[in-house]
């Protein structure tokens, strides 16, 4: 069909086209103004770089009581995933409900239903860069903004409270462990001095020093790992991946110590060590064990002192846990449905549909002039006879 023929058909049936466009456009205008309105407000933030420490992720993750899903049991747990999960915790949701008077405004009497309302109207997303966005859709643009901003405020408040509570507890725990280690160092030092004085031994032969050095390091690692494991188990569930790693590490250290202490088995340290501990003369063995324990506890005391000082600083330093990238603003709220788009879609669809109607009526008008139309009519009559015969049989 040539373009001029196309125009002739449209011109011939233009009234149908005009009616269709006017009718469907009016219908789209009515829909645009009568469909329920909803306003989408979005706020976004990112965890501060000063807070991005893998050990802190795991410790805070466990402390705040969020149970990781199996997919998060890998080597690294994203800080973005932790905060995105935390936004769905009851501690944060309760504070959001209080800040926005949600139950009163939405006439909700049950807290559980308020949580369901938030689940339906609030979406949390984390992009690959670690930026977390909170999108809220309600019938009131100001209310949407209030909820989105309340989530950020509640998250900041609750995480700060929990973090400082945790750091204070950690500082207290390390202080007690440090004092206990200090007392043990003093006690072992006195015991070591008495042994040296009793047996008149003040210098250990060099042939035993390699065994002593590595054995001492292993004992120190064993005590430090035990303390770290005990610390985490105080606030963390046993299935925490960090707990499992520390248990495995502690088991390996103890196996090496047993190997070193057992004279019946060959040493598994590449031939670096001298004789196993039990092959040493009794006096040297006792002296080495005592001095090893002393050096190990001395190292543990030093380690705990450093950790305690760090914990004291953490417990008193103002920490900005999240950086707010954008707050929800009523002027930037997206409105749904978009009136202009609905009206334009109505005009477009009505135009296409009107053109199709024009060609349909043109086809109906010229169908009798088509070749073979009489034969088609005969065939249709035969079908009608068959149908009538079938009805009589029924």
Same domain flag for 31 and 42 = no
Residues 127 and 13 in one domain: no
State how beta strands 38-47 and 122-126 pair: unpaired
Q: Strands, E, within the chain: which ranges?
A: 38-47, 122-126, 132-138, 322-326, 334-336
Tens-binned pLDDT, residue by residue, of the chain (394 aa): 677 888 888 888 888 888 888 998 898 888 878 777 888 999 999 887 544 333 444 444 444 444 444 334 343 456 777 788 788 888 899 999 999 999 999 899 899 999 999 999 999 988 888 889 999 999 888 999 999 999 999 988 888 887 787 778 778 888 888 888 888 888 888 887 887 777 666 555 545 555 556 766 787 788 778 877 777 776 566 777 778 888 899 899 888 877 776 655 444 333 333 445 454 456 666 776 777 677 777 777 887 788 888 888 877 877 777 888 999 988 877 776 777 888 889 889 989 998 898 888 887 777 666 656 666 667 667 766 666 655 555 5
pLDDT attached to residue 194: 82
List own/partner pairs for 182-188 with CB under 8 A and 24 or more apart: 182/301, 184/297, 185/294, 185/297, 185/298, 185/301, 188/290, 188/293, 188/294, 188/297
140: left (phi over 0), alpha (psi -120 to 50) or beta: beta
Label residue 76 exposed, middle or buried (CB < 10 Å: 0-12, 13-18, 19+).
exposed
Same domain, 127 and 264: no
Task: Compute the distance between CA of residue 135 and CA of residue 109 in angstroms, rounded to an integer.
Answer: 24
Whether residues 215 and 264 fall in one domain: yes
Same-domain status, 327 and 302: no
Residues 237, 243, 248: CA angle, nearest 5 degrees:
145
Helices first, then strands: H and E counts in the chain:
13, 5
Say yes or no: 257 and 181 in one domain.
Answer: yes
Element (H, E) at 319: none
233 and 91 together in one domain: no
Helix or strand run (H / E) with residue 109: none
For 334, list phi and psi in degrees, rounded to 5: -85, 135
Number of structural domains, the chain?
3
Q: Round to whole Å and give the CA distance between 298 and 253.
A: 19
**What are the structure tokens assigned to 177, written together?**
């462990």
Report the pLDDT value the prediction gives residue 97, as an integer from 0 to 100: 94
Q: Give 133-173 as a DSSP string.
A: EEEEEES-HHHHHHHHHHHHHHHHHHHHHHHHHHHHHHHHH
* Model pLDDT for residues 221-237, shown as the tens digit of each residue: 887 788 777 777 765 66
Asked if 278 and 194 sit in the same domain, the reply is yes
Which tokens belong to 271? 């031939």
Q: Which domain holds residue 326?
A: 36-163+322-337
CATH number for position 327: 3.30.1890
Query: Are the C-beta atoms of residues 388 and 61 closer than 8 Å to each other?
Result: no
Judgement on whether residues 102 and 238 belong to the same structural domain of the protein? no
96 and 22 within one domain: no
Identify any residues that bridge with 136 across adjacent strands, giving them in sequence order. 41, 122
91: helix, coil or strand?
helix
State how far the Cα of 134 lies from the Cα of 112, in Å rounded to an integer.
21
Kindly report, residue by residue over 147-199, the tens digit of the pLDDT.
Answer: 999 999 998 888 888 778 777 877 888 888 888 888 888 888 888 788 777 76
Per the structure block, which two tokens stand in for 143? 């209310």
Q: Are 171 and 296 within one domain? A: yes
Residue 31, SS3 per DSSP: helix
> Is residue 252 within a helix (H) or strand (E), and if so which, with residue range?
helix 241-261
Instruction: Supply the pLDDT for residue 204.
Output: 54
Among 285, 316, 347, the domain-final residue is 316
Same domain, 147 and 174: no
Q: How far is CA 215 from the centre of its chain?
A: 42
What is the C-alpha separation between 174 and 180, in angstroms, rounded? Answer: 10
CA distance 49 to 218: 34
Element (H, E) at 311: helix 282-316
26's enclosing H/E stretch is helix 14-34
Residue with tokens 């507890």, as numbered in its chain = 169
């Amino acid at each position: 069909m040539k373009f001029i023929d196309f125009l002739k058909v449209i011109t011939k049936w233009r009234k149908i086209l005009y009616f269709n466009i006017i009718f469907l456009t009016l219908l789209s205008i009515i829909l645009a103004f009568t469909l329920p309105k909803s306003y989408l407000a979005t706020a976004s933030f990112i965890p501060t770089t000063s807070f991005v420490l893998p050990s802190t992720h795991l410790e805070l993750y466990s402390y705040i009581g969020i149970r990781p899903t199996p997919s998060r049991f890998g080597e690294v747990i994203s800080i973005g995933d932790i905060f995105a999960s935390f936004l769905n915790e009851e501690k944060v949701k309760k504070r959001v409900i209080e800040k926005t008077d949600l139950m009163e405004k939405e006439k909700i009497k049950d807290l559980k239903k308020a949580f369901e309302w938030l689940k339906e109207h609030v979406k949390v997303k984390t992009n690959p860069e670690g930026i977390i966005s909170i999108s809220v859709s309600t019938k009131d643009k100001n209310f949407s903004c209030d909820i989105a901003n309340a989530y950020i405020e509640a998250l900041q408040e609750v995480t700060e409270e929990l973090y400082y509570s945790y750091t204070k507890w950690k500082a207290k725990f390390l202080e007690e462990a440090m004092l206990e280690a200090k007392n043990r160092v003093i006690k072992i030092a006195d015991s070591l001095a008495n042994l040296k004085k009793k047996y008149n031994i003040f210098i250990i032969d060099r042939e035993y020093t390699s065994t002593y050095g590595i054995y001492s390091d292993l004992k120190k690692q064993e005590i430090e790992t035990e303390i770290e494991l005990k610390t985490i188990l105080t606030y963390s569930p046993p299935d925490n991946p960090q707990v499992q790693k520390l248990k495995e590490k502690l088991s390996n250290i103890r196996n090496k110590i047993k190997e070193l202490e057992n004279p019946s088995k060959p040493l598994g340290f590449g031939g670096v060590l001298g004789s196993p501990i039990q092959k040493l003369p009794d006096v040297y063995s006792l002296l080495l064990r005592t001095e090893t324990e002393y050096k190990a506890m001395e190292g543990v005391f030093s380690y705990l002192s450093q950790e305690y000082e760090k914990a004291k600083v953490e417990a008193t330093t103002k920490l900005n846990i999240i950086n707010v990238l954008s707050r929800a603003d009523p002027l930037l709220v997206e409105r749904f449905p978009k009136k202009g788009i609905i009206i334009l879609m109505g005009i477009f669809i009505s135009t296409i549909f009107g053109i199709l109607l024009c060609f349909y009526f043109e086809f109906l008008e010229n169908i009798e002039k088509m070749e073979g139309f009489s034969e088609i009519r005969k065939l249709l009559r035969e079908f009608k006879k068959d149908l009538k015969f079938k009805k009589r049989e029924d």
